[in-house]
C-alpha cells in the first residue's frame, strides 16, 4: 500500500470516467489508523445464521493498533466471540472538499477480561450512543487492514448539493 500526504486531486467535471479511477488512493496502515481516529462510528459484520451476515453499528476508539468498543450480552456479543474473524468498516466524507475514505479491518475479537487490560481500558474514551448499559469491552486486533481515499464523482456531488 502507498500513501501520500495530500488527498487525491479532483479531476475536471468533464473528465472521462477512466480519470476518476486514477484519483483512488490505497492507504498505508498508519494512514488507515489516522483516518479511523477521526470518526466515532463504524460497523462490524459477523456471520449470522446459515449464510446470513449481520451488521451492527458500533461506537469505537483506536487503541494501540486495535479497535475497541463496548457491547452488552446479546446477539452481537454471541456472534463476535463465536467466530474466528469479523469485518469492521468505518468511513467518512467531506462534501466541501469532495473527498471520501473507507477503512476495513478483518480479524479476531476478544473480550477484554485480563485485570491489567481492564484497568487500562478505563482511560479509553469509548461511550455508546445508545443509553442502555454496555459493560463489555471488546478488542479487534486486525490481521488485515486496508483503506482507500477517493475523490467523489463531481456529478454525484452536484446531485447531493442540488437535489
Q: In CATH, what number is assigned to the domain containing residue 80?
A: 2.30.110.10
10 belongs to a structural domain: no
> Given this model, what pLDDT does residue 67 score?
95
Cell of 135: 459493560
9 belongs to a structural domain: no
Q: Which helix (H) or strand (E) holds 35?
A: helix 29-36
> What phi and psi, each to the nearest 5 degrees, are found at residue 2?
-125, 160
The neighbour count for residue 139, using CB atoms within 10 Å, is 19
> Given this model, what pLDDT does residue 80 score?
86
Domain that holds residue 111: 22-161
> Given this model, what pLDDT does residue 145 score?
98
> Given this model, what pLDDT does residue 114 score?
54
11 belongs to a structural domain: no
131 belongs to a structural domain: yes
118 belongs to a structural domain: yes
7 belongs to a structural domain: no
2 belongs to a structural domain: no
SS3 147: strand
104 belongs to a structural domain: yes
Tell me which residue of 151, 125, 15 sits closest to 60, measured CA to CA.
125
The neighbour count for residue 79, using CB atoms within 10 Å, is 20
pLDDT in tens, the chain (163 residues): 333 334 455 455 555 555 544 478 999 999 999 999 999 999 999 988 888 899 999 989 999 899 999 888 888 888 888 888 999 999 999 888 889 999 999 999 989 875 445 445 545 666 666 667 777 889 999 999 999 999 988 887 777 766 5
Number of domains in the chain: 1
Q: What is the largest CA-CA distance in the chain?
A: 59
Read off the pTM. Answer: 0.77
Amino acid at each position: 500500500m502507498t500513501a501520500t500526504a495530500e488527498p487525491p486531486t479532483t479531476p475536471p467535471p468533464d473528465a472521462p470516467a477512466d480519470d476518476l479511477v486514477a484519483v483512488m488512493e490505497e492507504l498505508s496502515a498508519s494512514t488507515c489508523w489516522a483516518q479511523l481516529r477521526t470518526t466515532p462510528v463504524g460497523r462490524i459484520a459477523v456471520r449470522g445464521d446459515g449464510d446470513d451476515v449481520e451488521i451492527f453499528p458500533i461506537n469505537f476508539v483506536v487503541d494501540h493498533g486495535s479497535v475497541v468498543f463496548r457491547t452488552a450480552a446479546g446477539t452481537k456479543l454471541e456472534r463476535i466471540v463465536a467466530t474466528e474473524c469479523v469485518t469492521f468498516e468505518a468511513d467518512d466524507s467531506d462534501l466541501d472538499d469532495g473527498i471520501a475514505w473507507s477503512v476495513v479491518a478483518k480479524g479476531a475479537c476478544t473480550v477484554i477480561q485480563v485485570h491489567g487490560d481492564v484497568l487500562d481500558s478505563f482511560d479509553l474514551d469509548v461511550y455508546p450512543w445508545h443509553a442502555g448499559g454496555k459493560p463489555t469491552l471488546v478488542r479487534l486486533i486486525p490481521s488485515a487492514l486496508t483503506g482507500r481515499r477517493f475523490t467523489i464523482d463531481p456529478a454525484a456531488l452536484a446531485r447531493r448539493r442540488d437535489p
